Amino acid sequence: MTIHTKAMAAQLLKAPSGVAGLDEITFGGLPAGRPTLIAGAAGCGKTLFALTFLVKGATEHGEPGVLMSFEERAQDLVENVSSLGYDLPGLIAENKLIIDYVRVERSEIEQSGEYDLEALFVRLGHAIDKIGAKRVVLDTLEALFSGLGDGPVLRAELRRLFQWLKDRGVTAMITAERGAEGQLTRHGLEEYVSDCVIALDNRVEEQITTRRLRVLKYRGSAHGTNEYPFLIDQGGISVLPVTSAGLSHSISDEVVSSGIGGIDAMLGIGGFYRGSSVLLSGPSGTGKTTFGSHFVNAACVAGQRAIYFSFEESPEQIVRNMQSVGLDLGAHVASGLLRFESARPSLFGLEMHLVLMIRQIEEFNPTAVVVDPISAFRGSESEIHATLLRLVDYLKVKGITGVFNNLINADQPGRDDQSLSSLMDVWIGLHDLQANGERNRGLFVLKARGMSHSNQIREYLLGSGGVTLIEPYIGPHGVLTGSARIVQEAQEEAAALERLDEVNRRHREFVQRRNAAERQIAETLEALEREEAELLALENVDERKEKVLTASRFAAATRRGSTQ
Q: Residue 413: is its pLDDT beyond 60?
A: no
Helix axes 151-168, 118-131, angle to 10 degrees: 20
CATH ID of 255-472, from 3.40.50.300, 2.60.40.640, 3.30.930.10, 3.40.50.10490: 3.40.50.300
pLDDT tens per residue, range 451-473: 999 988 888 999 999 999 987 76
Q: Among 333-347, 499-513, 540-554, name the one with the lowest average pLDDT.
A: 540-554
pLDDT tens per residue, range 264-294: 999 999 999 999 999 999 998 899 999 999 9
Asked if residues 165 and 172 have their Cβ atoms less than 8 Å apart, the reply is yes
Looking at residue 1, what is its pLDDT?
47
H-type alpha helices, 42-82: 46-60, 74-81
State the chain's mean pLDDT as an integer: 83
When mean pLDDT is compared over 107-116, 432-441, 515-524, the highest value belongs to 515-524
Looking at residue 324, what is its pLDDT?
95
Q: What percent of the chain has pLDDT over 70?
A: 82
H or E element that contains 236? strand 236-239
Amino acid at 401: T
Looking at residue 411, what is its pLDDT?
61
When mean pLDDT is compared over 141-155, 281-295, 425-439, the highest value belongs to 281-295
CA distance 311 to 357: 12
Looking at residue 278, what is its pLDDT?
95
Looking at residue 4, what is its pLDDT?
44
The yes or no reply on domain 3-239 and CATH 3.40.50.300 is yes
> Could you tell me if residue 343 is left (phi over 0), alpha (psi between -120 and 50 degrees) or otherwise beta?
beta
pTM over the 0.85 mark: no
CA distance 441 to 443: 7
CA distance 165 to 154: 17
Q: Residue 105: is its pLDDT beyond 70?
A: no
Mean pLDDT of 103-107: 62
Buried b (16+ CB within 10 A) or exposed e, 369-408: bbbbbbbbbebeeeebebbbbbbbbbbbebebbbbbbbbb
Q: Residue 334: is its pLDDT beyond 50?
A: yes
Mean pLDDT of 389-418: 79
Q: Residue 557: is its pLDDT beyond 70?
A: yes
pLDDT tens per residue, range 349-388: 677 788 788 889 989 999 999 999 888 887 667 777 878 8
Per-state percent for the chain, helix, strand, coil, to nearest 5: 45, 25, 30
Q: Where in the chain is the domain with CATH 3.40.50.300?
A: 3-239, 255-472
Q: Residue 161: is its pLDDT beyond 80?
A: yes
pLDDT tens per residue, range 465-505: 999 998 776 655 556 555 666 666 677 777 788 888 888 88
Closest to 421 in 3D by CA, of 448, 444, 395, 450 = 448
Q: Which residue has the higher pLDDT, 501 or 333?
A: 333
Q: Among 11-25, 261-275, 539-553, name the one with the lowest average pLDDT.
A: 539-553
Q: Among 171-185, 223-237, 533-547, name the one with the lowest average pLDDT.
A: 171-185
Looking at residue 333, what is its pLDDT?
96
CA distance 100 to 479: 79
Looking at residue 108, what is its pLDDT?
47
Q: What is residue 478's three-state secondary structure?
A: strand
Asked if residues 1 and 64 have their Cβ atoms less than 8 Å apart, the reply is no
CB under 8 Å, gap of 24 or more: what pairs does 89-96 form? 91/55, 91/58, 91/59, 95/64, 95/130, 95/131, 96/58, 96/59, 96/64, 96/65, 96/131
CA distance 280 to 453: 16
Looking at residue 329, what is its pLDDT?
96
CA distance 510 to 382: 77
Q: Which residue has the higher pLDDT, 546 or 255?
A: 255
CA distance 297 to 330: 10
Q: Residue 310: is its pLDDT beyond 80?
A: yes
Q: Residue 162: is its pLDDT beyond 50?
A: yes
Q: What is residue 174's three-state secondary structure?
A: strand
Mean pLDDT of 7-25: 78
